[in-house]
Amino acid sequence: MYNFEYQNPVKIIFGKGEIGKVGINIPEGSKIMLTFGGGSIFKNGVYDQVKAAIKGFEVVEFGGIEPNPHYETLMKAVKLVKSENITFLLSVGGGSVLDGTKFIAAAACFQNGDPWKILSHQAPVMDAIPIGAVLTLPATGSEMNGNSVVTRFETTEKLSFASQKVMPVFSILDPEVIFSLPDKQVANGVVDAFVHVIEQYLTFPVNSPIQDRFAESILITLVEEGPKVLANRNDYESAANLMWSATMALNGLIGVGVPQDWATHMIGHELTAYHGIDHARTLAIVLPGIMQVKREQKKDKIMQLGKRVWGIVEGNMDERIDKTILKTIDFFESVGLPTKLSDYGVSTKTIDLICKRFEERGFKIGEKANIGPKEIRLILENRL
Amino acid sequence: MYNFEYQNPVKIIFGKGEIGKVGINIPEGSKIMLTFGGGSIFKNGVYDQVKAAIKGFEVVEFGGIEPNPHYETLMKAVKLVKSENITFLLSVGGGSVLDGTKFIAAAACFQNGDPWKILSHQAPVMDAIPIGAVLTLPATGSEMNGNSVVTRFETTEKLSFASQKVMPVFSILDPEVIFSLPDKQVANGVVDAFVHVIEQYLTFPVNSPIQDRFAESILITLVEEGPKVLANRNDYESAANLMWSATMALNGLIGVGVPQDWATHMIGHELTAYHGIDHARTLAIVLPGIMQVKREQKKDKIMQLGKRVWGIVEGNMDERIDKTILKTIDFFESVGLPTKLSDYGVSTKTIDLICKRFEERGFKIGEKANIGPKEIRLILENRL
């Protein structure tokens, strides 16, 4: 394995009824901005639980953070943070609300001009307002990492930044929040977490058995528990296992000392930016194309995935790789995510646009930095 | 799974050549006490690497911390910490040096009378001097947790405490330190880490697939990589995998939300206290006895261990449990650790002493708190 550094100080508070602990985990005297999304927290009772738990604190509310949070919206929150002298951000929602809150936290302390540079130029984040999170949706892993993805609506750009400074101080994970989620959100979460693991796993071997087996542990658990949650939304045990899987999928642990890919995410982001397709659905579209186009480069790990996760042990190498790709597609489709561009009405015109954008950016992606416009065209044409 | 809280802020710096980063991770202007053991760090070059990396800091040295660190020795260090106004403790050694350093860190700040109470009465640790660690031996996991075990020589008591306050700020893990270790220390480390995993795994099922599979991932890796390191001490890849396994075995992660046992450790500590047997060797003795005596209570997890780690899938339940216990014993013996009390010249007289001590303590141990003097006698008689 490669040399690495790893540090993850996020305090995880996990289990049913734990939302009541939010208040005792926020520093006394804090002035809180409570950030949230479209209002599902009013229907599922989470808002009431949180409000009861932070009684006594001064609280400003900022709702309406979109899925794929918009820079334009977040900058309004930044203005409010400054004018209200907010000292603590409490994100109550899923990954989009939390990603947006991370950007608010960093942008409010940014001293180096336009905060857009945090996203566009990866300008270093020197300081951030502390964040706490109450998670309402298992999917992105944002609750235990320093990553954030933000969309600029006016230019259809979806960009990310990462900083230890925006890691939540604490994250409360109560699996009961899953009980009221629609199928689509559960399924998206399962696939999002699945692909997070894949991006840190499906590259080339570097003799890292702990990382590999941990990754496979999460994949197997998602494959086993995801459908159970979809079949019975009140199965607490399966909900808990799904929620913990999604957190472990992207808290950095399985990615230490190994090559990483992230091409699926980077190409997927463009599909969201141009067509508003749910993030997880873009991953379900793109991943099989990457597995196909990069099957030679990734052959050892595709074979290992096939054997250890899908139980594929027969046939020659090419047959096993084919079966592994098919099994992966089948899994995505079985939980309700179509995997073809045509399923979403996306045509070759969009492929042209995406390739042009990568052409302009001038850098290549993937674990060997060899996926450029030409390869992206092949990947997306494979998914038409 | 059960509700849980988890937080582990230790910064891990992993890989060959990383010891040189020790200086930049210590706050500027710190007055350092460098703690170490019997002097192996002078032979393997680690002392020189550390000293070069902390040039410019004021440094006081405190060597001679024993395996199973003695309270009496550590209290001398506490005195020196106070008289020299030490502000940072740098542990350069294995788990014993680090455990001892943790006690020094807590005892030097203890405001509530005799620091022995931290061990004897689990007096709360309100503050501690910050610790950094350069690990020279993979085994105890102390580099990424807040646990410490200390022996009081005059009363042959081996006791432990745990506190977030004594978690290292950083731990540097350079697998190259393994190259110069004798077989005995490598083998002890493999078994110590193996049993750490077992104590958090071999209890009863609570539907925790992530924790279970992570635990099995570490066990399989130890079983595969441990013998490779023993066979070829210069195999960096295997050394790295062994080192990372030992850290992951006891950083709290696999133990979240699941029942834990620790009876093997608690009985084993008595064998070390009375006979000075290496910690890991006491575990290799005791564990098979616990598996035998508690085979009914632990049957589901013993079967799972047998199947997923040892590949035992044939026979009825009793046969499979027998085979799993035998396979575990075989593994310990294969790396050079005898597993019978008689192998160490320990007789029934010691069993009497240990049972009497647990009689006096009055509490029972194990995941169901049902292992008392009577059961301990059965366990140890099984190992005569």
Is the four-CA dihedral B208, A261, A94, A271 of positive or negative sign?
A: negative
Which long-range contacts (C-beta less than 8 Å, at least 24 apart) are formed by B114-122?
B115/B75, B115/B78, B116/B71, B116/B152, B118/B161, B119/B71, B119/B150, B119/B152, B119/B159, B119/B160, B119/B161, B120/B157, B120/B159, B122/B161
Q: What is the pLDDT of residues B192-216, one digit of tens each?
A: 999 999 999 999 999 999 999 999 9
> Which residues in B lie closer than 8 A to residue A213 (C-beta atoms)?
213-214, 216-217, 220-221
User: Cβ B245–A210 below 8 Å, yes or no?
Assistant: yes
pLDDT of A158 reads: 85
User: Cβ A244–B214 below 8 Å, yes or no?
Assistant: no
Q: Which of A155, A176, A197 delimits the end of a domain?
A: A176
Task: Say yes or no: A148 and A261 in one domain.
Answer: no
Which residue ranges in chain A fall short of pLDDT 50? none
User: Cβ B3–A18 below 8 Å, yes or no?
Assistant: yes
Task: Say yes or no: A213 and A340 in one domain.
Answer: yes
Within a domain: residue A202? yes
User: Cβ A7–B3 below 8 Å, yes or no?
Assistant: no
Any idea what the CATH number is for the domain that residue A130 is in? 3.40.50.1970
Closest Cβ opposite residue A4 in set B9, B14, B209: B14
Task: Say yes or no: B55 and B79 in one domain.
Answer: yes
Shortest CA distance from B144: residue in chain A: A7
User: Cβ A213–B210 below 8 Å, yes or no?
Assistant: no
Q: What is the pLDDT of residues B252-271, one digit of tens each?
A: 999 999 999 999 999 999 99
CA distances from A382 to A350, A367, A376 (A): 14, 20, 10
Task: Say yes or no: A354 and A238 in one domain.
Answer: yes
Task: Say yes or no: B232 and B364 in one domain.
Answer: yes
Within a domain: residue B160? yes
* A342-A348-A351-A355 Cα dihedral, nearest 10 degrees: 160
Phi/psi for A59 (5° steps) reads: -130, 130
Cα–chain-centroid distance for residue B135?
A: 13
What ipTM score was computed for the predicted complex, to two decimals? 0.97
- Give the start-end residues of each E strand in chain B: 4-14, 31-35, 58-62, 88-93, 131-135, 147-152, 157-162, 170-173
Q: Quick check: B185 pLDDT over 90? A: yes
pLDDT of A52 reads: 97
DSSP string, B117-184: HHHHS---------EEEEE-S-SS-GGGSSEEEEEEGGGTEEEEEE-GGGS-SEEEE-GGGGGG--HH
Any idea what the CATH number is for the domain that residue A330 is in? 1.20.1090.10
Task: Say yes or no: A271 and A246 in one domain.
Answer: yes
pLDDT of B236 reads: 98
User: Cβ B1–A210 below 8 Å, yes or no?
Assistant: no
pLDDT of A303 reads: 98
Residue B321 — very low, low, confident or very high, per pLDDT cuts 50/70/90?
Answer: very high
Within a domain: residue B225? yes
Mean model confidence pLDDT for chain B? 97
pLDDT of A357 reads: 94
Residue B335 — very low, low, confident or very high, per pLDDT cuts 50/70/90?
Answer: very high
Q: Quick check: B189 pLDDT over 90? A: yes
CA distances from B191 to A366, B134, B138, B219, B227 (A): 39, 21, 11, 10, 11
Q: What is the pLDDT of residues B40-53, one digit of tens each?
A: 999 999 999 999 99
pLDDT of B244 reads: 98
Within a domain: residue A162? yes
Instruction: Determine what percent of chain A is predicted with pLDDT higher than 90.
Output: 97
Task: Say yes or no: B279 and B356 in one domain.
Answer: yes
Task: Say yes or no: A25 and A171 in one domain.
Answer: yes
Task: Say yes or no: A266 and A287 in one domain.
Answer: yes
Task: Say yes or no: B134 and B16 in one domain.
Answer: yes
Look-up: residue for tokens 């710190």? B30
Within a domain: residue B3? no
Closest Cβ opposite residue B12 in set A6, A209, A248: A6
- State how far residue A149 is from chain B, nearest Cα, in angstroms: 24
As for how many domains chain A has, the answer is 2
Residue B349 — very low, low, confident or very high, per pLDDT cuts 50/70/90?
Answer: very high
Q: What is the pLDDT of residues B219-228, one digit of tens each?
A: 999 999 999 9
**Cα–Cα dist B84/B111, whole Å:** 18
Q: Which domain holds residue B354?
A: 181-381
Phi/psi for B90 (5° steps) reads: -115, 110
> Which residues in B lie closer than 8 A to residue A14 (C-beta atoms)?
3-6, 256-257
> Which candidate, A99, A124, A101, A95, places its Cα nearest to that of A111?
A124
> Which residues in A lie closer than 8 A to residue B1 (C-beta atoms)?
15, 237, 240-241, 244
Q: Quick check: B156 pLDDT over 90? A: no
